[in-house]
Amino acid sequence: MNPGAMNIQVDGIGAVSAPLQIVLLLTLISFLPAILMTMTSFTRILIVFHFLRQALGTQEMPSSQILIGLALFLTMFIMAPVGAQINELAVEPAMAGRITMTEALSRGAPPLRTFMLKQTRQADIALFMELGHIRVNTPAELPMTVVMPAYIISELKTGFQMGFFLFVPFLLIDLVVSTTLLSMGMLQLPPAMVSLPFKILLFVMIDGWNLLVGSIVRSFA
């Protein structure tokens, strides 16, 4: 056999594998927004910010762009240890060519699974194990198809709980202002117009952003 022809065939095999890896990588990148919203701390943070804006009654201030940007940076801060583990175990070996893309995905899943399981309620995990007829001996054996939906509904519950506690003090201000205006016979004056400055003043005086962001970050400890 001609050695030149053999070299051409080997080069052709390499040329086919490289585009396949690029296609797989692009496919994975297309799922990044869904991964960000459902498998990180982003969901809880954004829910709490939404409830805060509703409780304050400031309509579109802070704007959605500002809240989403802050939620993204807080997510990066909270997920930094998990990202470092995934980078060490999966990303760097895959970029160096020491492991395949499939092996990289299998290596990168355990740190993310551990993070999600710490934030997931046992009742939610048991629900999806029952629905999927899945039996495992240890949490590490749980498939991601169980962990991901259980984590999402746990985050929704936690976010709504934190939002409720945010609403209570501002609701009290609304009730006090509304009762005061009613007793003074000022029925034509909207209570929200009077209570809004007091709610903003309260939030600023207690350094609300510092307390809120600190509470959110500590809730993932």
pLDDT score of 71 more than 70: yes
Residue 35: the pLDDT is 75
Q: Are 122 and 153 in contact (CB under 8 A)?
A: no
Structure-model confidence comparison of residues 177 and 210, the more confident one: 210
Residue 1: the pLDDT is 46
Residue 203: the pLDDT is 84
Segment 71-96 shows an average pLDDT of 83
pLDDT score of 49 more than 60: yes
Segment 98-125 shows an average pLDDT of 81
Structure-model confidence comparison of residues 147 and 34, the more confident one: 147
In this prediction the pTM is 0.75
DSSP the chain: --HHHHHHHHHHHHHHHHHHHHHHHHHHHHTHHHHHHHSSTHHHHHHHHHHHHHHHT-TTSS-HHHHHHHHHHHHHHHHHHHHHHHIIIIIHHHHTTSS-HHHHHHHHHHHHHHHHHHHS-HHHHHHHHHHHT---SSGGG--HHHHHHHHHHHHHHHHHHHHHHHHHHHHHHHHHHHHHHHHTT-TTS-HHHHHHHHHHHHHHHTTHHHHHHHHHHHTT-
* Integer Cα distance of 144 and 14 in angstroms: 32
Using the structure block, give the residue that is written with the tokens 């970050």.
217
Burial class from Cβ neighbours inside 10 Å (0-12, 13-18, 19+) for residue 40 reads buried
Using the structure block, give the residue that is written with the tokens 């954004």.
46
CA atoms 137, 219, 54, 167: torsion sign: positive
pLDDT score of 114 more than 80: yes
Residue 160: the pLDDT is 92
CA distances from 49 to 56, 64, 116, 168, 208 (A): 11, 9, 21, 15, 12
Residue 63: the pLDDT is 84
- State the chain's mean pLDDT as an integer: 79
Segment 64-88 shows an average pLDDT of 88
Residue 3: the pLDDT is 44
Predicted confidence band of residue 173 (pLDDT cuts 50, 70, 90): confident
CB neighbours (10 Å) of residue 28? 13
pLDDT score of 46 more than 60: yes
Residue 187: the pLDDT is 67
Q: Which two tokens stand for residue 205?
A: 């005086």
Residue-wise pLDDT for 8-35, tens only, equals: 333 443 434 556 656 666 666 776 777 7
